[in-house]
Amino acid sequence: MRSLKQSIKLILSVNWIKTLYFNFKMFPFEVAKKVPVFFYGSVNFEGLTGEVVIDAPIKTGMIGFGQPYEMTTRSRRISEIALCGKFVFKGHVQFGKDFFIYIAKDGYCEMGHMSSIATLGKIICTNSVVLGNWARIGSESQIIDTNFHAMKNTVTGDFYPMNEKIVLGNYNYIGNRVSIMSKTKTNNYCTVASNSLCNKDYTGLGLNILIGGIPAKFIKDSISRDWEGEEKLLEGQLIVNFFNS
C-alpha cells in the first residue's frame, strides 16, 4: 500500500484541468462527480466525440492515463487521445506515460479489469480491440487492428480486409516492443516475448503458452507469469483508492 507521502505525490501529479474536463464532458453528472478517470501530466485531446462506458463499480481514479506506475519518471509530454468511437472499461485500468490512443467512429475498444499498456504504448482501433482482465502490455508496444490502406490481389483484383478484430485473453503478459496486429487472438494465460509481431489466431495452442518472434510462433507450453503470487501486490500498488472508502 502507498504511504501518505506517495499518495500526496500521486495527487499532485494529476492534471486536474484535463481530468475534470474529460469526466464532465464524457459522463453523466452522477458518474462525473466521482471523477473515475485521471489524466497525469500533459495530454492532447485531439477529439472527444465518442462514448466512454465504465462497466464496473465507479471509483475515483480507477482509470489512469499516464499513471506513474513504472520505473520511468520523466515524460516526453506527447500523450494524445482521439476518441470518436466507443471505449469500454471493465474495471481499474492503467496507461503509462506518453500514450497514443485513437478509436475511430465505428471502432470499439474494451479493456478488462487491471489491463494496461505501459509507457509509449499505442492503441489504434478502427474495428474492434478487446483486452481481457489482467492483460498487461509492456512499454513501446502497439495494438493496431488495421493496415491503414486498401491492399489488393494484383492478379484477381480482389481486395483484402483492411481491418480485423483483436482479442487478448485474461492474464496475458505481453513484453515490451510487441506489435499486436489485426487478426490476433490469444487464450488466457498467454505470454508474448519482447520484440514480437502477433498477427493471427493463437487460441489453438492452448493455455499457459509462450509465443514470440516475427511473426510470433509457439515457443513453449506449461509456462505463465506468477499471477497468483503477484496479484495482491499489484492491486495494492496500482489501484488508486485514496478518495474512496
Tens digits of residue pLDDT in 54-68: 999 999 999 999 999
Q: What is the pLDDT of residue 6?
A: 67
Tens digits of residue pLDDT in 140-193: 999 999 999 999 999 999 999 999 999 999 999 999 999 999 999 999 999 999
Q: What is the pLDDT of residue 245?
A: 45
Query: Phi/psi class of residue 61: alpha, beta or left (left: φ > 0; alpha: ψ in -120 to 50)?
Result: left
> In the chain, where are the structural domains located?
4-238
Strand, coil or helix: 128: strand
How crowded is residue 229: how many other Cβ atoms within 10 Å of its Cβ?
8
Give 10's pLDDT tier (boundaries 50, 70, 90): confident
Q: What is the pLDDT of residue 4?
A: 65
Q: Which three cell numbers stand for residue 135?
A: 492483460
Average pLDDT over residues 13-18: 96
Q: What is the pLDDT of residue 91?
A: 98
Q: Which three cell numbers stand for residue 76?
A: 516526453
**Is residue 212 within 8 Å of residue 193, measured between CB atoms?**
yes
Residue that the C-alpha cell 473515475 belongs to = 36
Q: What is the pLDDT of residue 27?
A: 98
Give 244's pLDDT tier (boundaries 50, 70, 90): low
User: What architecture is domain 4-238?
Assistant: 3 Solenoid (2.160)
Q: What DSSP string describes 154-200? A: TTT-PBPPSB--EEE-TT-EE-TT-EEETT-B--SSEEE-TT-EE-S
Label the pairing between strands 37-39 and 63-65.
Answer: parallel
Tens digits of residue pLDDT in 138-155: 999 999 999 999 999 999
Q: What is the pLDDT of residue 11?
A: 81
Tens digits of residue pLDDT in 81-120: 999 999 999 999 999 999 999 999 999 999 999 999 999 9
